[in-house]
Amino acid sequence: MRADSPGHNAQSPSTAAPATRAVLEQVLEAATDRAGGTEAALIGRDARLVYPANGFAVDLDYAALDHALAGHEQRTLSAADGPAVAPGSSAQPTCWHVRRLPADLSVFLVVVDAAAPSGVEHSSDQRLDMLTAIAARYWVGDGTDLPLLAAAEAAPGGITIADARLPDLPLVYVNAMLCRMTGYARADFIGRNCRFLQAGDREQPGPAEIRDALARDQPSTTELWNYRADGTAFRNRLDIAPVHDATGGVSHYIGLQQDITREHELEQRVVAERDRMAAIIEASPAGLLVLDDEGCVRFANPAAEQLLARSRETLVGADFGVPVPSAEPAELGILRPDGRIGVAEFTVIRSNWDGEPAWLGMLYDVTARKEAEEEVSEMAHTDHLTGLANRVRLRERLKIAKAQARHTGELFALLMLDLDRFKQVNDSLGHPAGDRLLQDVAARLEGAVRARDTVARLGGDEFAILADGVDSADGASMVANKVLATFAEPFEIDQYSILVGASVGIALLPQDSTDVDSLLSLADMAMFSAKGVGGSTARRYTSDMAARNSERMDVEQRLRRGLDRDELVVHYQPQVRLADETVAGFEALVRWQDPQRGLVGPDQFIRAVEELGLIDKLGAQVFAIACRQVAAWESRLAANVTMAVNLSARQVRGPELLDSLQPTIAATGVQAARLVLELTESAATERPKATRSVLSELRQRGMRIALDDFGTGFSALNELRTLPIDQIKIDRSFLAGVPGDSAGEALIHAIIDMSHGLGKTVLAEGVETREQAIFLRAAGCDYAQGFLYERALPAADIEQRWLPASQTGATGGNTE
């Protein structure tokens, strides 16, 4: 409002406001009286009603005013618009700021401005204060003293009142709070639609919602961005309700406005946080399950859906089970609908869901890792040569069997199997052939048992079978027999047909033992027992085997020690010329002076020595003793005798033999010509080529070779012809029925004739009777050896009985 001209000043500016109020009150009172006694009666009355009653009556340009009001336009009337003031009036309004207002209030607006003494400038706010003071009284209605204005002004939220009957719903009232909220003055609001607060931000959904609700005569609540006078945005929560007049029509809309910027930001943060959490849960590679106290699934994230291969809809409500918490993550097998089984590590914590106590379960898919581990473990548990289980796997299976036996009372049989003569195959045909044989054996064993039985290779030529559901010891024997039967057919390796036997030991779980280690050793004992009776058979473990086994272990230990302590002694058995029964030489035979058992024959310990890998050591010791002995006899007694020493198959195979014999020969000073090296027929013919060269070399060095146990092997006669040997020793078994058994006699004749034909001498072993000696001499046999003449005796006894100084001069070498 512009300032009045100075000449129109009638009142002191300092008292203007109270004076104006007072005038206003008077005006109102007068108007009220005139209208019929109540302020409410003023409604709808012509504004002119109020003027004549007071001295401040203003003569307005009613036409212009009416026009302005009727046109609902905002218009400023200036003094120039009409002869504004009645004569005598000191009030000389210079300006009317007329806004489009409800008809009721326009009265007062006019009054206010008109009443303003000229020269007194009211700020827009002051004017509106006055206006609202009146408006408030109007709004109170009949007979009510409630100071609504004061209440509205004191309200902690913004309040607006808009006129519903005017186009575009202009505001007729805003309270102080709204002004504070927005930074706008009341004058900025009055007569305008509230939407200006949206500034340029018009694309918000809120206003449309409001309009829709109001169109249905319904209250409405919405939120939208509004802008303060300074341009800053605030979030406004708007509650708008229609106000009905006496006729039931909507006269006004009252609005409550709240600056909820902070709450909104907070909410946005919470929503953002929730969205982030949700995104994490959705994206989490760990399966998350919320289980209620009944074990029912209440929530499952996508990873859980994937792991369990079930949709969230299927999972929610499904009975997963009440988790039993454990210190370590539990490993769960996940049963998927398609039958695949996954593995997941499951950890669980106590939590809440919808305000109820619940479990939060976390599932980590370890299926791939588990499979990889199993593959590695499979490799670690497999024998690479045969693809069978190895010892580690067998032990695992035994442990499971042990538990199963305990739970179900099932009987298991553990079969321990060792090939007979495998070493010979390996030694004679080479390792690759031996490996193929093991593979073939593995295949046959697997074929002989059920798929669920475990066949394992424990190393070397040792196998084991764990069979479940064996109903009795007989059942176990049946399994063993089935296994043994698979060895009936020869194995075809490198064009060779190899017949291999097997020894099987049986121990029963839980009958014999429930301890994995002892079960293995019991089956082992039984297997040794089977081997002990010649192999190709099965033996069930019996308690006395344990005693024998411990004895065997004990013997092994003592034998090892014995070899170190020179407990081996050599006895000598004479070999006589059949022609005159004079001694031609001796065979050196080893004995073991066992401190516990006394003198022990080779049949009782040689196998153990071989198993212990000490046979070379023993052979070297015997050879040295024999060499020393024959050298001593020659030098001391001038004895002209030979000394036969046994060689093992192993010794004649390599050139190392020559290297090992030579130093001994040199050290003992024995003449090579006194030495006869005996080897068995099977040893000589096993690898004919290698053996032949070794034997030739020995002969070149002056030693002679005798073929032991002739007739027990299956040497081809042609090989016999080409072997560099000097003597053939007929095995004792040929003499069993001789004389008398014509077939036996014929065989001996044949051997002697053949040997002589090949230029070899013949010695008969195991001659026990005079008749045998007579028969052999008649048959042309050169030498004999046996109990008829003498057992093997210690050197001292031999000297006394066979080498008296007087006789020795006459004796000569047995192969001359």
Partner 1 sequence: MTTYRLKLYLSGRTPETDRTIDKLRAIMADYHDDYELEIIDVLSDPQRAEDDRILATPTLVRELPQPLRRLIGDLSDTQGVLLGLEIEPTATGGGVDDIAPHGDPGVR
Binding interface with partner 1 (CB under 8 A): 295, 308, 310, 318-328, 330-335, 337, 339, 341, 344, 346, 348, 396, 399-400, 403-404, 407
Helix H, strand E, coil C: the string for 330-352 is: EEEEEECCCCCEEEEEEEEEEEE
The number of angstroms, rounded, from the C-alpha of 676 to the middle of its chain's C-alpha atoms is 68
Give least dist CB 335 to partner 1, A. Answer: 5
Nearer to partner 1, 170 or 287 (CB): 287
List of long-range contacts for 652-657, beta carbons under 8 Å, 24+ apart: 652/679, 652/683, 652/684, 652/691, 652/694, 652/695, 653/427, 653/686, 653/687, 653/690, 653/691, 653/694, 654/690, 654/694, 655/693, 655/694, 655/697, 657/694, 657/698
Nearer to partner 1, 315 or 728 (CB): 315
Within 10 angstroms of residue 548's Cβ, the number of other Cβ atoms is 14
Closest CA relative to residue 417, chosen from 451, 454, 445: 445
Nearer to partner 1, 193 or 367 (CB): 367
Nearer to partner 1, 323 or 434 (CB): 323
From CA 581, how far away is CA 789, in angstroms rounded? 9
Closest CA relative to residue 465, chosen from 473, 474, 456: 456
AA letter at 616: D
Give least dist CB 278 to partner 1, A. Answer: 24
Q: Which two tokens stand for residue 416?
A: 């321990």
Q: In this structure, are strands 233-244 and 250-259 parallel, antiparallel, or unpaired?
A: antiparallel
Nearer to partner 1, 348 or 448 (CB): 348
Give least dist CB 400 to partner 1, A. Answer: 6
DSSP 574-594: EEEETTT--EEEEEEEEEEEE
Give least dist CB 404 to partner 1, A. Answer: 7
AA letter at 613: G
Return the DSSP state at 89. -
Strands (E), 38-108: 75-78, 95-98
From CA 303, how far away is CA 436, in angstroms rounded? 50
Nearer to partner 1, 37 or 337 (CB): 337
Nearer to partner 1, 279 or 368 (CB): 368
Q: Which two tokens stand for residue 346?
A: 């499951």
From CA 664, how far away is CA 651, in angstroms rounded? 15
Give least dist CB 300 to partner 1, A. Answer: 11
Nearer to partner 1, 404 or 428 (CB): 404
Give least dist CB 320 to partner 1, A. Answer: 5
Nearer to partner 1, 349 or 403 (CB): 403
Nearer to partner 1, 384 or 452 (CB): 452
Nearer to partner 1, 368 or 403 (CB): 403
Helix H, strand E, coil C: the string for 743-780 is: HHHHHHHHHHHHHHHCCCEEEECCCCCHHHHHHHHHHC
Give least dist CB 470 to partner 1, A. Answer: 17
Give least dist CB 347 to partner 1, A. Answer: 10
Give least dist CB 469 to partner 1, A. Answer: 13
Please list the residues that pair with 538 across neighbouring strands.
Answer: 504
Nearer to partner 1, 147 or 325 (CB): 325
Helix (H, G, I), strand (E, B) or coil at 460: coil
Give least dist CB 522 to partner 1, A. Answer: 22
Give least dist CB 407 to partner 1, A. Answer: 6
Give least dist CB 341 to partner 1, A. Answer: 6
Give least dist CB 276 to partner 1, A. Answer: 30
Helix (H, G, I), strand (E, B) or coil at 455: strand
From CA 262, how far away is CA 183, in angstroms rounded? 18
For residue 320, CA distances in Å to 184, 315, 327, 433 come to: 62, 9, 20, 57
Buried b vs exposed e over 87-124: b needs ≥16 C-beta within 10 Å? eebebbbbbbbbbbbbbbbbbbbbbbbbbbbbbbbbee
For residue 372, CA distances in Å to 307, 366, 367, 368, 376 come to: 18, 10, 9, 6, 6
